[in-house]
Amino acid sequence: MASTAIATLHDGWDCTWSQPGTRLVGVPDARQSESPRVCLREGLRKVTDSECQTCAYFEPTAATLFARLTAQDAASGIVSGHALALTTRALLVFTAALFAALGFVTLTGPGAVPFTVMTWLCGAVFAGMAAFMELPEG
């Protein structure tokens, strides 16, 4: 992921390579041996928040990635279930018409009758799928 530009601000809490640092109770932050979050990727134990926010090796945790993808999917109305079902039915009708036309074109003599009947039966199957197949409309 180093070659991908990251447009959103990310922090160490959401990174796969980050874990809580060792902290001592009662010791001020300036004297702590480690920062609140440490990076395990490069073997660096002490990183600042600004270094973590600009890190090119940021990899979101599974929960963070799932939340981002869910939000992105909810926000984008590119293809609805109804449009997908309508497109599928149109493709099935087109395929049925293609098989029917292929049957008429190849019906040139008595030897082509079995092939013509086969293409018409295939067209009938696709027409039946277009008419009776239950597709998710949601």
Q: What is the pLDDT of residues 81-115, one digit of tens each?
A: 777 888 889 999 999 999 999 988 888 888 888 99
Alpha helices in 76-136 (DSSP H): 81-106, 113-132
**pTM, 2 dp:** 0.43
**What backbone phi and psi angles, to 5 degrees, belong to 71?**
-65, -40
Mean pLDDT, rounded, for 16-45? 73
* Residues linked to residue 80 through DSSP beta bridges, in sequence order: none
Structure-model confidence comparison of residues 1 and 110, the more confident one: 110
Structure-model confidence comparison of residues 88 and 50, the more confident one: 88
Would you state the pLDDT for residue 78? 63
Q: For all residues of the chain together, what is the average pLDDT?
A: 76
**What backbone phi and psi angles, to 5 degrees, belong to 128?**
-65, -40
Which residue in 64, 12, 8 sits closest to 41, CA to CA? 12
Would you state the pLDDT for residue 97? 93
Per-residue pLDDT band for 34 (boundaries 50, 70, 90) equals: confident
Q: Tell me the range of 19-28, 42-51, 94-103 where mean pLDDT is highest.
A: 94-103
Structure-model confidence comparison of residues 70 and 104, the more confident one: 104
